Structure 1
Amino acid sequence: MTIPLVVGIDGSEASLEAVDWAAEEAVRHEVPLHLVHAAVPDHEAADLIAVASERAWKAVPTVRLSSEVLHADAASALVSEGRNAFALVLGSRGLGDLAGMLLGSVSLAVAARADCPVVVVRGGAEYRDARFGRVVVGVEDGEGSGTAVRFASREAHVRRCRLVAVHAWSAPFALSEPPPPSGFAPEAHRRPPMQVLDDVLRGQAERYPDATVSRLVIKGTARQALLEAASGSDLLVVGARRRRGHLGLQLGLVNHALLHHAPCPIAVVPQV
């Protein structure tokens, strides 16, 4: 049985925009779409599911669709669903979130705890409708980016678009100076920045030999580099390390900032 792409719905416009995005994504990857509404309790659940189902079929009539109502805490229920999901898709704002919030509390909690990739659908229609023809992935030095790069490479492949791999770096600093801002960009003296990109992309070139890949090295913080690269992109992909001895992921300051401010949909991919 093919595992589904799961989208969380709560009746908000943001969650319906997530349904639109997820319906297209499910068909691209030839997986079923599973709508999940979780609340304790909710007498309007059936109506919410019906509205979301109609929205999905209107967006993509050929999508294979199922739905489920769970009487449980929304974040915990979605994290549980993610244990057997292709990915979890969520809106950027929930129905009950306070005005002025940049990111819904449920979306943030799920992104920090899920075992599968989590996509938070952000941005205007031009970003949600895949009009730019490129996927951006953030690459750090070391072992932390492999899963994210594989996810991003597959996305670019099924979308038939360009993959842009971005690595941010900062110059070595003198001992008398404060360290650079934290993030997943290492210091330049560890490995040449372009080598970091070449090493992590080498395996993907063998898997997708016809792929169009660009390498972008930016001197500065990872937050700034990825926000700039995400402007004019259909999807931003970042990795997240697992916490040692704790449940959930280590999102870090950079990923928190990107989840709140990315101009386009953003995928947080757990490191395997």
Structure 2
Amino acid sequence: MTPLNAPGNRWSDLDRPPLNAPALRRALLRPDALWTSFDVVPATGSTNSDLAARAADSAEGAVLVAEEQSAGRGRLDRVWTAPPRSGLFFSVLLRPGPGVPQERWGWLPLLAGVAAAAGLSRAAGVDMSLKWPNDLLVRAGGGERKAGGILAERAGADAVVIGIGINVTLREDELPVPGAGSLLLANAVSTDRDPLLRAVLRSLADWYEEWRAVGGDPVASRLQEAYAAGCATLGRTVRAELPGGRSVTGEAVALDGDGRLVLAPADGGPREAVGAGDIVHLRPAG
């Protein structure tokens, strides 16, 4: 018999039980649903990398979840680490199709942020906000902390893989960096990962299908309005650090029709829109 506390034993931390994959499949995989396959693996390097590698042979709506990631990535290949079964680490495969112009695909990570924040707010009972372009924030310890992140990557000519990582039960001594947070530290009413994952995936399907039905139009789908309403970055003075050492400082006043952040310099100079692909860091000014 394997000792309970042996490394790799899925029951080694009874406060962090494994996901119930059969029950999740029954709840999510329905004939009229977006989600077409659902797999949970004990550990992997990166769910985004794994799902992208098999995108050519996968239908839209494939979902891959890992109980642990050893090489989870954020934007610009920043590392995302967390103890096994302490969070939700998953990727989904989407094919917006010819009905959505590719210039609107840049809204997909913002859509995922709105959907995740909405689903978690309902299921976990926490106040979620969005830091442009791809962070999920919670209130914990008297301030805002990053509890989740989103990474969207192209997978071939017609597909996008969206990875979402959410810290659920990380304790203070387990946080990877200062400023990180978790649903537990935000006093969530529930940290049961099964209903949390269901809530996020259902919210994501609802937002995606509405957005796709109107050709990816961020106004007609209400996506631009919803993101702006939940975005903690808007109204703050920030410094956008760009490649080549250039930076732009100003008040974040709006999102434009392409999902870029519009900055108004304090000196009254012309407003400048910065895109997620151009940002190295976005920090509070000063």
Give me the TM-score of the superposition, normalised by structure 2: 0.28
Higher-strand-fraction structure: 2
TM-score, length-scaled by structure 1: 0.29
Higher RCO by CA contacts (8 Å cutoff, separation 6 or greater): 1
